[in-house]
Amino acid sequence: MSNKSKHQDGMSLISKTISSFMTALIALFGFYIAFYGHLTPGGGFAGGVIIAAAFILLTLSHSKKVSLKKFPDIIASLLDNFGALSFVALGLLGFLSGAFFMNFVQKGKAFTLLSSGTILLANIAIMIKVMAGLFAIFVGLSIFGRIVAEGEKGDMR
């Protein structure tokens, strides 16, 4: 009984099972794209979009209730602002050490993960911003959709 009610929202059992496997892998791939943005094609924006897509897949297959429990909209909104703020902060930290957006950490050894100074940090900041922002936009659109739908129901009565 409890098993049945658990599967009431969202899509069929098959899509739920597959998407719960895939979500983690997609998110992991997104992190890879963002963290290796300075070495391979991609970067913070692309990585952030992929991670947001993982959460959107979870929303589509398991319903909004499940995905919002994992990633509440207030956290998404806060992370969105935090990502943008940390990007500007990165620029300002460079500003304190000479010029706006100047590299202020060690450059490291070429072609390794820690090899690009502040570019990696900038990519992470953008990843957070894009991930949270895109997910918040998706949730926001579906919230407005519900309000409109309920309003129409009310009119019909």
Partner 1 sequence: MLNLIPLFVAVPMGLAFFTLITSKFSKRTSDVFTFLGVSFLAYLAVRLITAGNLDYMVGGWKWPLGIQLHVDKLTVILLLIINVVAFLATLYALSYMERYTAKPKFYALLLLMIAGMNGVVLAGDLFNLYVFLEIASLASYALVGFGVESEELEASFKYLILGGVASSMILLGIAIVYANTGSLNMADIAQFLSTHGERSSIYFVYALFLMGFGLKSAMVPFHAWLPDAHPSAPAPISAMLSGVLIKALGIYAIARIFFGMFGVNEMLGWIMLLLGTLSMVVGVLLALGQYDIKRQLAYHSISQMGYVMTGLGVGALAGSPEVAALGIAGGLFHAINHATFKTSLFLCAGAIEYSTGTRDMRKLGGLYKRMPFTSTATSVASLSIAGIPPFNGFWSKLMIVIALFQAKLYVYAAITVFVSFVTLLSFIKLQKFCVFGELKPEMKSVKEVPVSMVIALVVLALLCLGLGLGFPFIEGFLLDAASGLKELLVFNI
Q: Which residues bind partner 1 (CB under 8 A)?
A: 74, 77-78, 81-82, 84-85, 88-89, 91-92, 94-95, 98-103
Q: Copy the structure tokens of residue 113.
A: 């993960």
Query: For partner 1, which is the closer residue by CB, 17 or 97?
Result: 97
Sheet strands (E) in the chain: none
Query: For partner 1, which is the closer residue by CB, 47 or 94?
Result: 94
Query: For partner 1, which is the closer residue by CB, 22 or 105?
Result: 105
Amino acid identity at 84: A
Question: In whole angstroms, how close is the CB of 19 to partner 1 at the nearest point?
Answer: 31
Question: In whole angstroms, how close is the CB of 72 to partner 1 at the nearest point?
Answer: 13
Query: For partner 1, which is the closer residue by CB, 18 or 108?
Result: 108
Question: In whole angstroms, how close is the CB of 79 to partner 1 at the nearest point?
Answer: 10
Residue 59 φ/ψ, nearest 5 degrees: -60, -45
Question: In whole angstroms, how close is the CB of 51 to partner 1 at the nearest point?
Answer: 20
User: 10 in the Ramachandran plot: left (φ > 0), alpha (ψ -120 to 50) or beta?
Assistant: left
Helix, strand, coil shares of the chain, percent, nearest 5, are: 75, 0, 25
Whether 31 contacts 126, CB under 8 Å: no
Whether 106 contacts 117, CB under 8 Å: yes
